[in-house]
A = this chain, B = another copy of it.
Amino acid sequence: MAEKTFVIGADLGGTHAAAVVVDREGNIYYQYELPVDLSHCADEVFEKSIFPVIEKVIKNSPGRVSSIGMGLPGRIDSRTGICHFSPNLQWHNVPVGPKLEEKFNIPCHVMNDVTVATLGEQMFGLGKDVDNFILMAIGTGIGGGIVNEGRLVLGAIESAGEIGHMTIVPDGYLCNCGNRGCLEALCSGPNIARRYREALERGEGELAPGLDGIEEVTAGTIQRAAAAGDPLAIKIWEETGRYLGIGIANLITVLNPDRILIGGRVANALDLFLPALLNEVRFRARMVPPDFTEIKHAGLAENAGVMGGAALALSWIEKH
C-alpha cells in the first residue's frame, strides 16, 4: 500500500502564527497556534512563534510530512521564498522559505497570504468546481487572488491581484498606498468605520445605541448597529456595496470569471452589502449576460489561511 501523504499548512499574520497537518483530501489531523509579537525582529518571530507552531504540528502528524506551505502578508517571490516587503510584519527581504527548509529539512513553499487562500479555495473551497474565479479578501486591507483556466495569475513579479488598489473614485480618499480613491481606501474594515464616523460628524445620523464614543466604531460595531436597524449604519453598508460593486464590475469586465468569492472579516456583513453590490454590478458589467458571474461568500472562513498553506504544499507535491 502506498504511503499516505501528509502536509503542513501554515499561516503567519500580524497577531498569530497557525498551522495544521492535513492529508490530500484536506482532513485536518492536528492544529496549533501561538501569538506573534511584532516588536521582535524577524529571527525572534521565527524562534518564538513560527518554528514552535510548525514543530508541534509535525510531531502530531499521523505520518511523514512531505511538504510545508505557508502564507504571509506582503510581497513574496515564491521561487526564492524571500519576503521582499511586508508592511504588516515590518519585514524587508526576509528569506522565509530558506529559513523553514534549513530548520525542518522538508520542502517549504511560501506565497502571499491572499494568493495562498485562493489556492485553498481552489483545492478545498468554492473554487473547486470552476476554472475561473477571483477571491476578494476584505479585512484591514483588501487583497485578491485570481485563477484563470485553473491557474493562478501571479503577474510579472507576483504582484497581480492587488485589487484593493484599483481606483474607484479618481479624486477620492488618500489611500495608504499613496493613490487616491482606491477600493481599499473606501471599503476595508477601518475605512468603512471612517465613512461612518465622518457621516456622524456631518450630522447625518446619531451614534448607534450601545456605542459609548465615536472612536469605538469599527466595521464590526457598524455591522451590529445595521442588523439592529440603525439607519446610518444601514446606509454605510449600502454605500460599501456600491463601491465594492464598481470594483467587482471592473474585475468581471476585465477577467470574465465564473465566480467571485468574498472573504475576510468584513464578508461577515455580506447580507448587509450584497444587494447594493449586485445592483451596481448589474448596472455596470454589461459585457457578460446579467447575473452570469456568481458572487458569494468564500468557502473556507477562519481556516482559509492554514488550508491555503496546505493547498500550496499539496500543489507542489502534484507538480513533483
Distance A283 CA – B177 CA, assembled complex (angstroms): 10
By a CB distance below 8 angstroms, the chain B residues around A144 are: 254
Is there contact, CB below 8 Å, between A177 and B256? no
List chain B residues, Cβ under 8 A from A146.
254-255
A256 & B157 in contact (Cβ 8 Å cutoff):
yes
Copies of this chain, complex-wide, total 2
| Residue A38 is within 8 A (CB to CB) of chain B in the complex | no
Q: Does A2 sit at the interface, judged by CB under 8 A?
A: no
> Is A287's CB under 8 angstroms from B131's CB?
no
A144, A250, A286 — most chain B CB neighbours (10 Å): A250
Q: Does the CB pair B246–A167 fall under 8 Å?
A: yes
Knowing A179-B284, A286-B179, say if A256 contacts B166 (CB, 8 Å): no
- The answer to whether A151 has its CB under 8 Å from any CB of chain B is yes
Instruction: For A293, give the chain B residue with the smallest CB separation.
Output: B156
Residue in A167, A258, A286 with the greatest tally of chain B CB atoms within 10 Å: A167
Q: Which residues of B contact A288 (CB under 8 A)?
A: 156-157, 159
Question: Smallest Cβ distance from A133 to chain B, in angstroms?
Answer: 9
Contact A166 B258 (CB under 8 A): no
Q: Which residue of B lies closest to A151 (CB)?
A: B149
* A163 interface contact, C-beta 8 A: yes
Task: Report whether A153 and B156 are in contact in the complex, using a CB–CB cutoff of 8 Å.
Answer: no
- Rounded to whole Å, the gap between the CB of A200 and the closest CB of chain B is 24
Per-residue 0/1 for A10-33: is the Cβ within 8 Å of any B Cβ (1 yes, 0 no)?
000000000000000000000000
Contact for A163 among B155, B254, B293, CB less than 8 A: B254
Interface residues of A (CB under 8 A from B): 130-132, 144, 146, 148-149, 151, 153-163, 165-170, 177-180, 246, 249-251, 253-258, 283-288, 292-293
